[in-house]
Chain A
Amino acid sequence: MSRSSDSQNGRVLSDLSVSTSPDTGVALPILELRKLGKKFSGTHALKEIDLAFISGEIHAIVGENGAGKSTLIKILTGALERTSGEIFSNGVPLSLGSPAQSLELGIDAVHQEVVLCGHLSVAANLFLGTERTRFGLLKQSDMVRKAQQVLDNFGFDLPSVTVPLNTLTIGQQQLVATARAAARGARFLIFDEPTGYLTRSETDQLFALIRRLNAAGTTIVYISHRMEEIFELADRVSVLRDGRIVSTRLVSETNIDELIRDMVARSIEEVHHKEEVQLGDVLLEVEGLSGPGFENVSLKVRRGEIVGLYGLIGAGRSEFAQTLFGRTARSAGVIRINGKELIANNVNDAIKAGIALLPESRRDQGLCLNLDVRFNLALPSLRRLSTGGFVNARKEDALAQRQIENLGIVTSSATEKVFNLSGGNQQKIVIGKWLHHGAELFIFDEPTVGVDVGTKVQIYKLFAELLRHGAGIIIISSYLPEVYDLADTLHVFRKGGISATFPAKAVHHETVLGKAIGN
């Protein structure tokens, strides 16, 4: 890793941010990209990007998955090197060759998946890369005190800064990541879908922090699929499509429809696609189920019904699903599928009974990323595809092709590694692998996190398709507009139990949120 720092990069962005052009007296952008390009093995991820960030603004960037947002962030943070074009700060060219160099300039990023070291303490993470030492030895108590100060200043109430980071909730980790960037003197802070796994209250805390940093002079780049967040937070918004900047507008002068037209070059109704399906018999009946993290949960799912589970992270929704799926043992309660009691001691029993769980963290739990599309699609059905223990390659291939077509999975071939696919396409594979497995009850844990608008609609259409075929669906989501619009019955979880149940759209968002928080 080269740490070469040329003379102009020795200065911090803040030193440069107030300068004006000597000729015109107009403020120069804090960062300006000119004809920026990035090629990966022949294909352009970014093409001639011209974009200027004005000092002190909140600049949103939107675009479908694969539009080039991640590549752009990686170039700015020095994780990738550009293949062409120039980057200027107040008219001064920058090289941006390594993460260390970007940090030195005050450019930092907060990612959706918290990119910190889970095994290290909160304090150690805050100071990772900028440790304080005396005679080569770490000043540990000094750093702990300072870390506590930083978090106190931002008004977080963490139990302790010496606990390992991975003992905190994802929301808390996200706040730590933001505080860390701020404490390191970030003057240009990029947020890459930071709210993907956050509950609304955690999102509010994060927004408060972002506004506070912005008020203190930090330029913010905010990337999100959630349109309402853009309109809540940003000053300007740029649309990225196929590696190009399509438009840059003032947020106050545009609307969701216009942005979506720019993003997909076609108009999509930004409503959560919901088809009316006739409800059938009771498919799943849960009575008084208790397990690790939740207690005494009872609910029913009928054929053709979407049951939503809403609540804050840690309220017991995912834990309930894990037990229903046989991942964790239940301590009490009865589960009936089609009226027959299910004694699920392990995942296999649950799968045989027709339950499919589509996990929250699809990269970690749902896919074998370094294996190909065909393998992943066939994995749960290998038994059906094989005779005498040998997998029938032709059947496997046919199944993969059928799913790729049905779901519209964008991949060069069935043998493409899943790792190379976009987030939305990965999600389709996670769903596709259960479709021809005879599953009847589908549990989706945060199904549209990190998925763009176009893919979202496809996923919602897929739900409707499943329902028409007599399936039942449970959706677990922290994103209230989604579960609210989709669910026929909405259960609100709080502190390990169901705190309220509402029929479709019976009450306002605020009431549902109140039940989740405990008003």
Chain B
Amino acid sequence: MSLADMKVTRPVASAKRQQRLNVLRGLTLLLLLVLLWVLLSFATPTFLTSANITNLMRQAALGAIIAVGQTFVIITGGIDLSVGAIVGLSSTVVSILLKSGLPVWTAVALTMALGPIIGAFHAFGILKMGLPPFIMTLATLTGLRGVGLLLTNGQTITGLPPEFVDFSRQSFLALPILFWMMVIVGIPAYLLLHHTVWGRYVYAVGSNAEAARLSGVSISKTIYLVYITSATCATFAGVLTASRIGVGVATTGEGWELESIAAAVIGGASLFGAIGNISGPLLGSVLLTTIGNGANLLNVNPFWQRIITGALIILIVWFDQMRRSNRR
């Protein structure tokens, strides 16, 4: 039997095609985004104004930061439904701490500790109590929201220190500071997911947990890592949100969990795990924000906006799946 039998040209061809498709998918999402921007620039006089673009970037950045964390969880085949509730809780906690007179950085640092604690709790529930990620984070989605409401007694916390509130309104190199915050989260996340051993293990656990385990990969450490990453990103987004809106409200971030999942999935992540990247949720988030922003400027009925967004999610992910199945 000669080695010639092993020569199969198909895998090379399909791999190359797949690489092209990956590039193409990034491009098509980008193209779709550019197309939307061009259309909106012509359709409305207000879209391509610096005020609107700045506003859009700020909003997109917050969603993107959460979606980046969510993507880590999704690649392991899990889901984090609690991120919206974490945004609400962390925005109220940071507001309470600031009102109590703590210096801004201390208040922020203390609040940021919530992320690892909540994330570790999720991982504990999933690993030690054997709860499915969906249930574990569904429980904290409602539970953490309750904690925020209890802490504030349902009241809005106003009168945050100006240096805290001003932060989110600043710009750096002509771009809003919140955009830079997205970069600050995005670059380490990219390095972590695509260039470290941990990132590799995130994919390995999502692809075949048993294979990963038999390779000496610690599944529990990986699960802890992704849920802590997700909760920490959401906590950070919560602090930034408090700064942006200038008040602490326990109900902030309602529905953001679904938006972050949508952004990740539009960006090419698979809810079955092992597929996804960091640029995906960034683009997905900007796309979702643009749709909302554009619809507002075009005076589309907000009820219709929701329907349109839902339809677009189905369309985009459907196209993505068709492209992916074509490679077979």
Query: Which A positions have Cβ atoms within 8 angstroms of B?
Result: 1, 3, 77, 79, 99-100, 103, 109, 115-120, 124, 128-131, 133, 136-138, 140, 155-160, 162-164, 167-169, 171-172, 200-202, 204-205, 312, 314, 517
Contact = CB atoms under 8 A, between A and B. Distances in A.
B275 interface: yes
11 contacts: A99-B214, A99-B216, A103-B215, A115-B208, A118-B208, A129-B216, A137-B196, A140-B195, A158-B6, A160-B11, A169-B8
Interface in B1-31: 1, 3, 5-12, 14-15, 18
Given A129-B215, A129-B216, A168 B11 contact: yes
B270 to A, nearest CB: 9
A138 B3 contact: no
Contacts of A131: 197, 200
Contact of A156 (B6, B207, B214): B6
B269 to A, nearest CB: 12
B12 to A, nearest CB: 4
B213 interface: yes
A157 B3 contact: yes
A128 B217 contact: yes
Given A118-B208, A128-B211, A167-B14, 19 more contacts: A77-B214, A79-B213, A99-B216, A103-B215, A117-B208, A117-B212, A119-B274, A120-B200, A128-B200, A128-B217, A133-B196, A155-B3, A156-B6, A157-B3, A159-B8, A160-B12, A160-B15, A163-B14, A167-B18
A120 B3 contact: no
Interface of B: 1, 3, 5-12, 14-15, 18, 191, 195-197, 199-200, 203-204, 206-208, 210-220, 274-275
Contacts of A312: 5
Given A79-B213, A167-B11, A119 B191 contact: no
Contacts of A115: 208, 210-211, 214
Nearest to A156: B6
Contacts of A167: 10-11, 14-15, 18
Given A100-B216, A172-B6, A117 B207 contact: yes
Contacts of B218: 1, 3, 100
Given A115-B208, A119-B274, A137-B195, A201 B1 contact: yes
Contacts of B12: 159-160, 163
A159 B9 contact: yes
B185 to A, nearest CB: 18
A46 B211 CA distance: 24
A314 B199 CA distance: 33
Contact of B211 (A116, A136, A138, A205): A116
Contacts, number: 118
Task: Please provide the 5 A-B residue pairs with the shortest distance between their CB atoms, ordered closest to farther.
Answer: A129-B215, A163-B15, A117-B207, A100-B216, A119-B274
Given A133-B196, A138-B196, A138-B197, A118 B207 contact: yes
B219 A128 contact: no
A168 B1 CA distance: 19
A204 B207 CA distance: 29
A172 B8 contact: yes
A56 B41 CA distance: 74
B11 A163 contact: yes
A148 to B, nearest CB: 14
Contacts of B200: 120, 124, 128, 131, 138
A117 B216 contact: no
A305 to B, nearest CB: 31
B205 to A, nearest CB: 9
Contacts of A168: 8, 11
B254 to A, nearest CB: 34
B217 A159 contact: no
A120 B197 CA distance: 13
Nearest to A162: B15
Contacts of B208: 115-118
A436 to B, nearest CB: 35
B120 to A, nearest CB: 16
Nearest to A118: B207
A79 to B, nearest CB: 6
Nearest to A292: B328
Given A156-B6, A159-B9, A159-B12, A117 B211 contact: yes
B204 A164 contact: no
Between A79, A103, A164, A171, the greatest number of chain B beta carbons within 10 A of the residue's beta carbon is seen for A164
Contact of B6 (A130, A164, A205): A205
Contacts of B203: 117, 119-120, 124
Nearest to A132: B197
A120 B1 contact: no
Nearest to A204: B1
Contacts of A128: 200, 204, 211-212, 215, 217
B215 to A, nearest CB: 4
Nearest to A171: B6
Contacts of A133: 196-197
Contacts of B212: 117, 128-129
B7 A157 contact: yes
Contacts of A1: 213, 218-220
A88 B250 CA distance: 60
A162 B16 CA distance: 10
Contact of A119 (B1, B7, B207, B210): B207
B21 to A, nearest CB: 12
A137 B219 CA distance: 20
A160 B13 CA distance: 10
Contacts of A137: 191, 195-196
A77 B210 CA distance: 13
A3 B203 CA distance: 22
Contacts of A99: 213-216
Nearest to B11: A167
A253 B210 CA distance: 39
A115 B209 CA distance: 9
B196 A136 contact: yes
Q: Which of B3, B199, B211, B213 has the most CB of A within 10 A?
A: B211
B190 to A, nearest CB: 11
A217 B204 CA distance: 31
A119 B206 contact: yes
Contacts of B18: 164, 167
A138 B190 CA distance: 13
A132 to B, nearest CB: 9
B221 to A, nearest CB: 8
Residue among A3, A156, A167 facing the most chain B CB atoms (10 A cut-off): A167
Contacts of A200: 1
Nearest to A103: B216
